Amino acid sequence: MMRALILGGTTDANQLAAAIARAGIDAVYSYGGRTRAPAGQPLPTRIGGFGGIAGLVEYLRRERITHVIDATHPFAAEMSRNAVAACAQTGTPLLALERAAWIRTAGDNWIEVADVISAVAALPEHRANVFLAIGRQHVAPFGTRPQHAYTLRFVDPPDATLPLPEADVIVSRGPFTLDDEVAMLRTRGIAWIVARNSGGTGARAKIDAARGLGIPVIMIDRPHLPERARVESVADVMQWLGHRACLGA
């Protein structure tokens, strides 16, 4: 009997969960636990980490998981690496549902960097209004550039004071339209954006808005991950599972 595990937390994962539920496949949806009120799913849901590779191995065996779909955020590198290792140990088929990275187009003013520390170094020395679109767990290094006024956007309010002397937090859940992003950037006088190359369409509006407004974007490259089978669409995952996606249902 097939029993799938979706490592989720993304729009792609949510769409996959809906398709799997429609197909009547036995599956579990796993959230990493960073969001306090995650979106409801049409599948049984678990929240929280597994306890590293050993914990995930134990879970796969205990729950008799036959297929794992890694549909986590492209920057959730630790979870993706653990999935590769745990699936190798247990002989469980693994497929990554991974959106294509954004590609620089005409009019984009990108400074491409390898990591968050390099992104901090790429900021200007003079004071500027900076939009950090990087997630709360990567904010601390920007405290070394205290001259800037930072705008951040989170799904949940921060649990503690941010390690930035001047930070304005927007609490809102996307996706956001191009008009939304243009208005936000203009209203707050944003002169620089720091973003991760998440890819896909759900978070792209800020990149398109930056192009239209001529705002430079410090673009953080994706982390290196072990080799694994990957696809870019829910339909491809469903085909891998031996089912049709029924995307129009």
Q: Find the largest Cα–Cα distance for the chain.
A: 61
Output the six-digit token pair for 190: 């944003």
- Name the average pLDDT for the chain: 93
Q: Kindly tell me if the per-residue pLDDT of 247 is higher than 60.
A: no
Q: CA-to-CA distance for 68 and 51, rounded, in angstroms?
A: 17
Number of neighbours of residue 40 by Cβ within 10 angstroms: 10
Per-residue pLDDT band at 136 (split at 50, 70, 90): confident
Residue 248 has pLDDT above 50, yes or no: no
Separate counts of helices (H) and strands (E) for the chain: 7, 12
> What's the confidence (pLDDT) of residue 137?
83
pLDDT band at 33; cut points 50, 70, 90:
low
**Strand order through the sheet with 94-97:** 45-47, 27-31, 4-7, 67-70, 94-97, 230-231
CB 30 within 8 A of CB 7: yes
Give the residue with greater pLDDT, 245 vs 173: 173
DSSP sequence for 76-123: -HHHHHHHHHHHHHHT--EEEE-PPPP---TT--EEEESSHHHHHHHS
**pLDDT class of 195 with cuts at 50, 70, 90:** very high
Which candidate, 231, 190, 224, 188, places its Cα nearest to that of 207?
Answer: 190
pTM of the model: 0.85
Query: Looking at the chain, how many residues does it have?
Result: 249
Q: For residue 156, what pLDDT is reported?
A: 83
Model confidence at 249, in pLDDT bands (50, 70, 90)?
very low
Question: In which band, very low, low, confident or very high, does the pLDDT at 183 lie, cut at 50, 70 and 90?
Answer: very high
Examine the pLDDT at 201 and tell me if it is beyond 90. Answer: no
Q: Are 218 and 195 in contact (CB under 8 A)?
A: yes
C-alpha dist (Å) from residue 224 to 53, 78, 159: 18, 11, 30
β-partners of residue 50 are none
- Is 161's pLDDT higher than 90? no
Confidence of residue 75 (pLDDT cuts 50, 70, 90): very high
pLDDT, position 134 = 92
Give the percent of the chain with pLDDT over 90: 82
User: How much is the average pLDDT of 107-134?
Assistant: 97
Contact (Cβ atoms closer than 8 angstroms) between residue 120 and residue 189: no
Does residue 133 have a pLDDT over 70? yes
Residue tagged 């009120």 (tokens):
37
The average pLDDT across 164-193 equals 94
Q: How confident is the model at residue 40 (pLDDT cuts 50, 70, 90)?
A: confident
CB atoms within 10 A of CB 44: 10
| pLDDT > 70 in the chain, percent | 96
